[in-house]
Amino acid sequence: MSRQLEIFVKEAPGALNLHWGWLVALGGVLAFLGILAIWRARAATLIYVGFLGAVLLVGSVAVLVFAFTLTGYWADFFIHVLWAFLLAVIGFVLLTRPTLSAEAITLAISFYLITAGVLYIGYALMSHIQGEWYYAFEGLVSAFLGVLLLVGWPITGFFAIGLFIGIDLLMKGAAIVALGLRLRGLAQ
């Protein structure tokens, strides 16, 4: 990652060097939103689940419009109508039952983390690549987080999604601030 950042910084356009403050401001806002999401993880979880439900409802309308306007075959038409119906049902459930939906999503995330962790550990042990201990450690952390979510489920369903989103926003905000400060150094 460091090498990619070095290449980007060396080849950054002049406008980025001059307007580095906007990147620092954007990163600061994202980091602030991340801290806010971590602080109010339950509210962030419910907001995210509601937003996901609204996106799925809008997507169902778009797929339904696509089915009636652009498909030329009956099989495609019925598949698109079925897909729109499925999206609408899932979106409606997410909007009307956000707590139950957050628990279900957290359960799916925990199974994903456990599976991905075991596969990463297997990949690290079976492959002969450089840095296999990094992959093994990443797999161990992933599996550990999945087990933590699963052991604490359904309670973890109330706050885990908001906490994960908050941590992600905080890390992305910090990275954007670091990029902006690096570009400031180039501008001077």
Residue 150, both tokens: 């699963």
Percent of the chain whose predicted confidence (pLDDT) is above 90: 1
Mean pLDDT value across residues 141-160: 80
pLDDT digits (tens, 9 = 90+) for 74-123: 667 788 888 889 889 888 988 888 888 888 888 888 888 888 888 888 88
Percent of the chain whose predicted confidence (pLDDT) is above 70: 85
pLDDT digits (tens, 9 = 90+) for 2-55: 566 566 556 656 666 667 777 788 888 888 988 888 888 888 888 888 888 898
The values of phi and psi at residue 114, to 5°, are -65, -45
Tracing tokens 């079976």 back to the chain, one arrives at 126
Q: Report yes or no on 70 lying in a domain.
A: no
pLDDT digits (tens, 9 = 90+) for 119-144: 888 887 787 777 777 777 877 878 88
Q: Report yes or no on 82 lying in a domain.
A: no
The number of distinct structural domains making up the chain is 1
The pLDDT of residue 69 = 79
The pLDDT of residue 74 = 67
Quick one: residue 130, left, alpha or beta (phi over 0 = left, psi -120 to 50 = alpha)?
beta
Q: Report yes or no on 38 lying in a domain.
A: yes
Length of the chain: 188
Q: Report yes or no on 67 lying in a domain.
A: no
> What global pTM score does this model have?
0.64
Q: Report yes or no on 19 lying in a domain.
A: yes
Q: Report yes or no on 26 lying in a domain.
A: yes
Q: Report yes or no on 91 lying in a domain.
A: no
Instruction: Give, rounded to a whole angstrom, the gap between the first and last alpha carbons of the chain.
Output: 24
- Per 3-state DSSP, the chain is made up of helix, strand and coil in percentages (nearest 5) of 90, 0, 10
The pLDDT of residue 71 = 60
The CA dihedral of 138, 143, 145, 147, to the nearest 10 degrees, is: -170
pLDDT > 70? residue 162 = yes
Domain housing 104: 2-42+98-187
Q: Report yes or no on 61 lying in a domain.
A: no
